[in-house]
Amino acid sequence: MIRSGWPAALSIVLLLFVSMATPGAAQQPPIKIGVVGGLSGAAASIGQAWADAIKMGADEINAGGGILGRKVALSIRDTEFKVDVGVREAKDLVLREKVNFLFGAISSGVSLAISTSVSKENKIIQITAVGNTHRQTVELFQRYFFQVVPNTFMEGRAAASVAAKQQAWKTYYTIGYDYEFGRMQAGAFVETVKKLRPDVKIIGQHWPPVGETDYTPYITSMLAAKPDVVYSNLFEAGLAGFVKQALPYGFFQKVKFVSLADVSSMMAVPEMPEGVLGYTRGEFYCENTPEMKKFTDAFHQRYKYYPVSYAVMGYDSLFMLKKAIEKAGTIETEAVVKVLEGFSYDSLRGKFTIRPLDHQADVPEYVGWTVKDPKYPFVILKDIVKVPGSQIIFTEDEVKQMRAAAKK
Amino acid sequence: MRRWGLLALAVGTLALPQVAEPIVVHTAIEILIMALFAMSFNLLFDGAGLLTFGHGCYYGVGAYTAALLMTEVAMPMFAAMALAMVMGGLVALVFGFFCVRLTGVYFSILTLAFAQLMFSLFQQSYTLTGGDLGILDIQPPAFLVAVNGYYYFTLVVVGVAMWLLWRIIHSPFGRMLHASRDSVVRTQFIGIDVRRYRLAAFVLAGIFASLAGALFAPFNRAVAPFLVSWVKSSDPVLMTLLGGAATFWGPVVGAAIFTTLHTIAIGYTTYWLLLMGSILLVGVLFLPGGILGFLEERFPGVAGARRTRMTEAHGASSHARAD
Amino acid sequence: MTAADVLGQFLSGLARAGVLFLIAAGLSFIFGVVKIVNFAHGALYMVGAFLTYSFTVTLKLPFWWSIVLAAVCVAVIGILLEILLFRRVYGRPVADQLLLTFAMVLIIHDVMRLAYGSNLRSVPRPPLLAGAVFLGDVIFPSYYIFIVLTGLAVLGGFWAFLHRTRLGKTIRAAVGNREMVACLGKPLPWLFTTAFAAGVFVDGLAGAIGAPLGGIRLGMDFDIIILAFATVIVGGFGSLPGTALAAFIIGEAYAFGIWFVPTIALSLPFIIMAAVLIARPWGLLGRAGGGEL
């Protein structure tokens, strides 16, 4: 290239910077919370539900006078489920918008990256209600990070504890997404089932890629192996595809099925059969309390769809933070961290406590059997076992061992 | 007049961290890294007439190599970056060997196929590359942790890299590359092995892209397989086309505009895709040759020295010098 | 592993091939004739799926009407896009066309999000095709028979159109030699619009027919776009029989890949694609020299 073009180029670049530079803001009266998670593309439904609940919660808080007399102001950013965008948006929220707290993210990879790249260095409290890799609280733990969602292992353990009780279930085939969430959760499920029932055999495992749309080869393969049970941690559109494609094969008459059963996934597949052992982090119908009913009705009235577990947990995280700030009497980070460690909160899912060792809340997982309900356009769970967090959470020794192993 | 402009810009660039907020400096670093990434892409695109859809592969390889070396074996950052460039060059050599034997859309799609294979590899190797969670907690040396320090560091590295790219493009090698882009047959008639030149350009582009990636890894403190995918590979393409592929500085302008627009759009509305897409649409329809191409037509000479016969390759109208 | 198991796995690969072919056919045709690399291909597929949802679930139209209507709507959208946008970038370098189609992908995503929200949608299979056909121990869902038959119909339909109708023959001539066809007084722009509309119609039809197979959501275009390109490349741009063959190979490779080589099953389409590009760039049934842009 003979042309250089640099004068025009650099002029434009500097003009842009001038336009971007905002005058340094004096400490604003509202309490600013950065809400950063995936809102577009693949799992947009999850992020959207979570953000919607937090928005509703913030409006409720503000209508009630705010926190410590100050209003809550939300800044919502889309991470596109990309690590670089997520870190950049979180940094922008912290450095430019000067948020006091961060909520996020949806994808474990992004929430982990925000924890290690932004929350730790800038000493901003980050609370995750969806992204649930165990690494956030174990080997990559940093003290400003808090988790109010059961981690991948806790979910697998809970499902396994109920599955193991089915004496007739002896041979299992698993199908899980080929990424950390899918592998860890299937692994936890298998480990727990085998521990509780040494007679159980795992006769095969499939790992479809994330985003897979066609499951027929997996379906035929598993049916050919003739297991008693198929365990799956597919979700959202993938689970919908799997179920729809499996139905004509008579799949659900031939094998028992254990599966994630959050409302968002169930909405995508109204044909979901009954009698499936489903597990979820906490749907609106899992708790019959007046608080849950009030939340559900308000959400449904405002947004015209039912709040899925991600919404429930997002709402929990906001109000838990409110209570913690009120108890600390300040939004100052270190003070709030001190309050949150060991903090017990009465959430929509019942009371949970945040463990000081790893900042993981001992939140429950719900396991039940799918059943159609005329009130809703999706299947729900009945005969729900609320597996308490204390039963499925890593023991303190396990956490210490894993951290020590990671240091080597 | 131009000298004053040059001086003002130089002063502005150097003084930026003193006058601007940290987030602006942070964005500036990102723009510098993306600019280098886009320029390496343009070495192939405008330099050799090769449109690659898989350039993220080398960016990602550079980022991961630096990340792994710094976290697993605690290698000092500069050494890690150097090795990252070597790795990027090697991978580019292997993939490039096959790619440069193709032309047109076939070349483009093979580069994409290789990038996707790399992506699958990175996504599935939990032990080696951390799987979908990637590598985290990459710590630069203490004096580069603060954003101002990293800005000056990046400015120096990217500045040197751009100077090198300039030298390459204006060297006999670069001119031969242009010749092969404009007419393969004539170039072969004068005895040039076009494939060798293209492979050399491919490897060089890979090296510079991996340098950009190696700058990115400690800056972001985290890398993930996404950096290797075709979606990331589309970033330099968009930036270069937006800024104007026919100029040396076009990719820089494109990187600056794209990144700033992206940031502003996301902060402004959750429907930022609509905003970005519309702006891109307007850009394509009404600014052929990108922003600098448009400015050049309106204000001839603003973009620098004379034009050459690149009109056919880039579709901008008029102003072709008779050859 | 019994013969029945193998046959079952083979049929599931066939099902996958059928879906792949429908998705890729429109892309192959548009590139072969109009010479546009259409990145918005997946986005239009997604529109077809969402529209099918609106027609079947919201408006409660019969399934067969819905899918045809959805495909027609997508074709109309395609024609509008072609007239308003694509025509301006014919003759411009391919980079501009890519940029244009990429911009469309972004815009269509948010238009869909505005229209339908972020939640997943579901379209049921029509009762007639909800069951399966039994061949002894082996099961083959009826819906996949429908898909394979539709694929064959598309294949045959295109062949008949291109080889038996005057319009089709003119289009083939225009692919070979545009200037000559223009000299003969044929309206080139409308030829290309027709070809584009035909390709986009199949694209929308693929989205409509694919709708009952899984969850309908934002971003489903990204799921299929790369596979569509892989199929088209392996078969050869512009050759629909090639696309069908490629879809078959990729489908079966995947079905048996997950049995024998599960770790690379994800990468199989790209390995095949890379191998074809290295050994025989114009694809299995394409013509050499047919890919220059």
Count of CB pairs separated by less than 8 Å, B with C? 114
Question: Could you tell me if C137 lies within 8 Å of chain B, comparing CB atoms?
Answer: no
C109 φ/ψ sector (left φ>0, alpha ψ -120 to 50, else beta): alpha
In the prediction, which pLDDT does A114 show?
95
Question: B272-286 and B250-268 are packed helices; what angle lies between their axes, rounded to 10 degrees?
Answer: 150
At A96, the amino acid letter reads R
Average pLDDT, chain C: 86
Any idea which of A332-336, C11-15, C93-97, C256-260 has the lowest mean pLDDT?
C93-97
What does the pLDDT average to over B69-96?
95
Q: What is the mean pLDDT of chain A?
A: 91
DSSP 8-state class, residue A206: E
Domain boundaries, chain A: 31-150+288-363, 153-280+365-392
Residue B90 maps to a domain: yes
CATH number of C3-279: 1.10.3470
Asked if C228 contacts B112 with a C-beta cutoff of 8 angstroms, the reply is no
pLDDT the model gives residue C93: 76
Enumerate residues 136 to 155 of chain C having a beta carbon within 8 A of any beta carbon in chain A. Answer: 139, 141-144
The reported pLDDT for the residue numbered C288 is 61
Give pLDDT, residue A77: 92
Neighbours of chain B (3+ CB pairs under 8 A): A, C
What is residue A8's predicted lDDT score, i.e. its pLDDT? 56
- The region of weakest confidence among B74-83, B200-209, C37-46 is C37-46
Residue the block writes with tokens 């986005």: C43
Least confident segment among A5-9, A153-157, B54-58, C262-266: A5-9
Amino acid present at B116 = Q
Instruction: Indicate which CATH number applies to the domain containing B82.
Output: 1.10.3470
Those residues whose C-beta lies under 8 Å from the C-beta of residue B180, and which sit 6 or more positions away, are: B48, B49, B187, B192, B194, B197, B198
End-to-end Cα, chain A, rounded Å: 51
- Answer with the residue of higher pLDDT: C38 or C126: C126
Helical H segments across A21-171, by residue range? 44-63, 83-95, 108-114, 120-122, 152-163
A17: Cβ contacts below 8 Å, ≥ 6 apart = B16, B20, B24, B27, B28
Q: At A18, is the pLDDT very low, low, confident or very high (cuts 50, 70, 90)?
A: low
What residues have CB less than 8 Å from A349, skipping those under 6 apart?
A282, A286, A287, A312, A313, A316, A363, A364
pLDDT (average), residues B182-210: 89
Q: What are the distances in angstroms from CA B192 to CA A406, B92, B175, B195, C292?
A: 54, 21, 12, 9, 22
Q: What is the pLDDT of residue A15?
A: 58
Q: Which residues of A touch B38 (CB under 8 A)?
A: none
Under 8 Å CB pairs connecting chains A and C tally to: 135
Q: How far, in Å, CA of B185 to CA of C266, rounded?
A: 40
Task: State the chains in contact with C (3 or more Cβ–Cβ pairs under 8 Å).
Answer: A, B
Residue B138 lies in a domain: yes
C165, HSE (Cβ side, Cα atoms, 13 Å): 10
pLDDT at A14: 57
Range of the domain at B250: 15-314
Least Cα separation, residue B140 to chain C (angstroms) = 34
pLDDT tens digits for range B11-29: 888 888 888 888 889 889 9
Residue-wise pLDDT for C171-198, tens only, equals 878 777 777 777 777 777 788 888 889 9
Q: How do the domains of chain C map onto residue ranges?
A: 3-279
Range among A269-278, B233-242, B288-297, C22-31 rated most confident:
A269-278
Residue A384: φ, ψ to 5°: -75, 130
- Distance, in Å, from the CA atom of A372 to the CA atom of A374, rounded to the nearest integer, reads 7
Q: What is the pLDDT of residue B312?
A: 39
pLDDT at B287 over 70: yes
Q: Is the peptide bond before A160 cis (omega within 30 degrees of 0)?
A: no
- Output the pLDDT for position A40: 85
Fold annotation for A31-150+288-363: Rossmann fold (3.40.50)
* Record: contact A249-C255, CB cut-off 8 A: no
Name the closest residue on chain C to residue B288, using Cα atoms: C96
* pLDDT tens digit sequence for C110-168: 999 999 988 889 999 999 998 999 888 889 999 999 999 999 999 999 889 888 888 88
CATH number, domain A153-280+365-392? 3.40.50.2300
A20 in B contact zone (CB under 8 Å): yes
pLDDT at B318: 34
Between positions 165 and 224 of A, the ones with CB within 8 A of B are 178-180, 183, 209-210
pLDDT band at B302 (very low <50, low <70, confident <90, very high): low
Over residues B203-240, the pLDDT tens digits come to 999 999 999 999 999 999 999 998 988 888 988 988 99
Taking residue C119's Cβ as centre, other Cβ atoms within 10 Å add up to 23
Residue type, C148: V
Within 8 A by CB and 6+ apart from A198, the residues are none
What confidence tier does B1 reach under pLDDT thresholds 50, 70, 90?
A: low
Q: Which pairing describes strands C132-135 and B222-223: parallel, antiparallel, or unpaired? A: unpaired
Specify if B96 maps to a domain: yes
Pick B110's closest partner by Cβ from C94, C222, C274: C274
Question: Which residue in the set A12, A16, A116 is minimally distant from B222, CB to CB?
Answer: A116
Strand-strand pairing, A171-175 and A229-232: parallel
Who wins on pLDDT, A99 or B300?
A99
Mean pLDDT on C54-68: 94
Chain C, window 195-214: residues with a beta carbon less than 8 angstroms from a chain A beta carbon: 212-214
Q: What share of chain C is helix, strand, coil (3-state, %, to 5)?
A: 75, 5, 20
- Given CB atoms, is A45 within the 8 Å cutoff of chain C? yes
pTM score, whole prediction: 0.89
Q: Which of C251, C227, C229, C242 is nearest to C283 (CA)?
A: C242
Size of interface A-B (CB pairs under 8 A): 189
Q: Which amino acid is at B75?
A: M
What does the pLDDT average to over A157-178? 95
Please give the structure tokens belonging to residue B103: 């032309």
The label of the residue with tokens 């079966």 reads C252
Smallest CA–CA distance from C251 into chain A, residue = A217
Contact A96 B23 (CB under 8 A): yes
B89-117 confidence digits (pLDDT tens): 999 999 999 999 888 888 888 998 899 89
Equal CATH topology for A31-150+288-363 and A153-280+365-392 = yes
Indicate the number of domains in chain B: 1
pLDDT at B308: 42
Q: Which residues of C touch A211 (CB under 8 A)?
A: 222-223
Higher-confidence position of B284 and A403:
A403
CB within 8 Å: C217 and A42:
yes
Q: Could you give the CA distance from residue C267 to residue C265 in angstroms, rounded to a whole number?
A: 5
Structural tokens at position C238: 């512009």
Q: Model confidence at B127, in pLDDT bands (50, 70, 90)? A: confident
- B3 is a domain residue: no
Looking at the complex, report in whole angstroms how far the Cα of residue B223 sits from the nearest Cα belonging to chain C: 21
What's the DSSP call for residue A249? Answer: G
pLDDT in tens, C278-290: 888 888 887 665 4
> In chain C, whose CA is at the least distance from the CA of A241?
C214
Indicate the residue of B238, B241, B281 with minimum beta-carbon distance to C107: B281
The verdict on C263 touching B (C-beta cutoff 8 Å) is: yes
Q: For A178, left (φ over 0), alpha (ψ -120 to 50), or beta? A: beta
pLDDT at B314 over 70: no
The residue with tokens 């030699």 is C177
- DSSP letter for A135, please: G
Residue B295 lies in a domain: yes
For chain C, the straight-line distance linking the first and the last C-alpha, in angstroms and rounded, comes to 48
**A339-382, pLDDT tens digit by residue?**
999 999 999 999 999 999 999 999 999 999 999 999 999 999 99
Q: What is residue A9's predicted lDDT score, i.e. its pLDDT?
A: 58
pLDDT at A17: 53
Does B2 reside within a domain? no
